[in-house]
Amino acid sequence: MAETKKVKHPSVEERAAKGKGRREKTPVSSHTGWKPASDRPDPVALLEEQNLTREQDLVPVRHGRMLVSPFTFYRGAAKIMATDLKDTPRAGLVSQLCGDAHLSNFGVFASPERTLLFDLNDFDETLPGPFEYDVKRMAASFTIAARNNEYTKEETHDVTLAAVRAYREAMAEFAQMGTLDIWYARLSEEQLMETLELAVATQKGKALKKAAHGMEKVAKQNVAKAHTRDSLQALSKLAERVDGEYRIVSQPPIVIPARELGESFGMSADGIQKAVREQLRSYRATLPDDRRILLERFEVIDVARKVVGVGSVGTRAFIALLQGRDEQDPLFLQVKEATRSVLEDHLPKSRFKQPGERVVQGQRMMQAASDIFLGWTKGVQDNRYLYWRQLRDMKGSAIVEGMKPLGMNFYANACGWTLARAHARSGDPIAIAAYLGKSDKFDVSITDFSERYADQNEKDYQAFADAVRSGRLEAVEGL
């Protein structure tokens, strides 16, 4: 008989004392003054190491997307930052980490109850670890994005400070909440819009009011657009009708249907289709019974490789078109390769041997609500692991590059609150809140780290661009 794990239940006072004690060991001011380690690895070499296991024809596409700006480079450089974070101060308070909590990895999507929620939406690197890692990744992303948008130094400082302050203040709120209240906490479309309307109403001065109304208009447009993003809309964008049946449109190198993939994978188109069906059966077994039975009512019609994101480019990613009762009842699933988390290079390895399960279980732990079709499977080839989810289910994300300072401040508050809620679900919000304290010392310290890390990111980006120019790395731009 398996040994039952003994769970400790310290009192509120003991948990708070633990957090305060960690302030003595690792003062919140210790996050100030970051400098790169003297033996810091070559950032370009770290990217080359990652590229070894990626689809070689897509590696130049990844480089091209990262080459756009220091901000897009940062989005693809999670491995570089994980290497830098291993040498930073840690309070020893662990929670489930997103692992790549930059501001573009937050967005809206539909809950199983068809409510639009704002939450983290990328968990490829998820792993338990020091809560500071996610906070620093998020905060630095705001500094880098603000610089990319040509904000003033003061505006950049303020937006970064806002993100960290929102995290600290939200964690203080969660420390006062009941356990189930934390679990059920979420940021819905209605709450987001109410907060936005309040922010607009409180602006003073003609210029600020105009900017606030512009922010509100863009936000409402993005939310309205998310409501239209479903499998029927994907069908109109990604599929065509041939001989009375739908099939995925070929748009190489971004979308390549299975019928054209044979040479790349050493399998015939029929072989790929057969492998996908076998994978689908294996994947269904990872779903709860009610969702497995629901999915069994759909049949696979077509499959294609589809390039996604920035950091994920080159890992294997597919889309599968399924059909329910008829041609007007489609379901698009996304199948993404899961590899080792970049955090596993420096933190204890995941307890899940299957990387796809690591991603799925981490996502379920951190999100307020997760996709009903979230599951995993082993790939056809050795050492290939996958996770599955819906391709489009009212998903939407903010266009960061177009944000004005007022809009990014609002967005920073939403992201900071959301990250704190995600950490409070798996970590100890009482201990973390006690460590963070009531003053702005932690906010200021992390903002200092972010500014210094943004400087380093710019140097890394320049080294990356030089490697492309010299021919060390190949890049294909515009895709």
Could you give the C-alpha distances from 177 to 170, 182, 184, 367, 430, in angstroms and in order? 11, 6, 11, 18, 9
In a domain? residue 454: yes
155 and 45 share a domain?
A: yes
pLDDT band, very low/low/confident/very high, at 339 (cuts 50, 70, 90):
very high
Distance CA 37, CA 43 (A): 12
297 and 433 share a domain?
A: no
Mark out the alpha helices in 285-309 (DSSP H runs): 289-295
Strands (DSSP E) along 209-324, which ranges? Answer: 239-242, 245-248, 255-257, 299-306, 317-323
pLDDT in tens, 399-446: 899 899 999 999 999 999 999 999 999 999 999 999 999 999 999 999
Of 332, 356, 390, the residue at which a domain comes to its end is 390
Q: What is the pLDDT of residue 64?
A: 95
Residue 256 CA from chain centroid, whole number: 25
Helix (H) or strand (E) holding 140: helix 131-148
Say whether pLDDT at 266 is over 50. yes
Structure tokens at 414: 């939403």
Q: What is the pLDDT of residue 274?
A: 77
- Name the nearest CA neighbour of 335 among 302, 363, 376, 298: 376
Q: What is the pLDDT of residue 314?
A: 66
In a domain? residue 263: yes
Radius of gyration (C-alpha) of the chain in whole angstroms = 23
Helix (H) or strand (E) holding 120: strand 116-120
18 and 134 share a domain?
A: yes
Q: What is the pLDDT of residue 1?
A: 42
155 and 55 share a domain?
A: yes
Q: At what angle do helices 429-436 and 12-25 cross, to 10 degrees?
A: 40
Say whether pLDDT at 5 is over 80. no
DSSP helix/strand/coil, 172: helix
Pair 362, 347: CB distance under 8 Å:
no
Q: What is the pLDDT of residue 427?
A: 97
In a domain? residue 84: yes
65 and 151 share a domain?
A: yes
Helices H, strands E: what count in the chain? 18, 13
DSSP-assigned states of every residue in 17-50: HHHHHHHHHS-GGGGSS----TTPPPHHHHHHHH
Could you give the C-alpha distances from 232 to 193, 227, 294, 306, in angstroms and in order? 26, 12, 18, 18
In a domain? residue 195: no
Instruction: Encode 440-470: b = buried (16+ Cβ within 10 Å), e = exposed.
Output: ebbbbbbbbbbbbbbebbeebbeebbebbee
Distance CA 123, CA 367 (A): 10
What is the total count of domains within the chain?
2
pLDDT band, very low/low/confident/very high, at 4 (cuts 50, 70, 90):
low
pLDDT in tens, 207-244: 878 887 888 888 888 888 888 888 889 899 999 999 88
What single letter denotes the amino acid at residue 73? F
Pair 28, 436: CB distance under 8 Å:
yes
360 and 236 share a domain?
A: yes
Say whether pLDDT at 457 is over 60. yes
In a domain? residue 429: yes
In a domain? residue 373: yes
Higher pLDDT: 228 or 344? It is 344
184 and 274 share a domain?
A: no
Domain that holds residue 158: 12-32+40-189+412-470
In a domain? residue 220: no
Q: Which of 107-111, 203-207, 327-331, 424-428 has the highest mean pLDDT?
A: 424-428
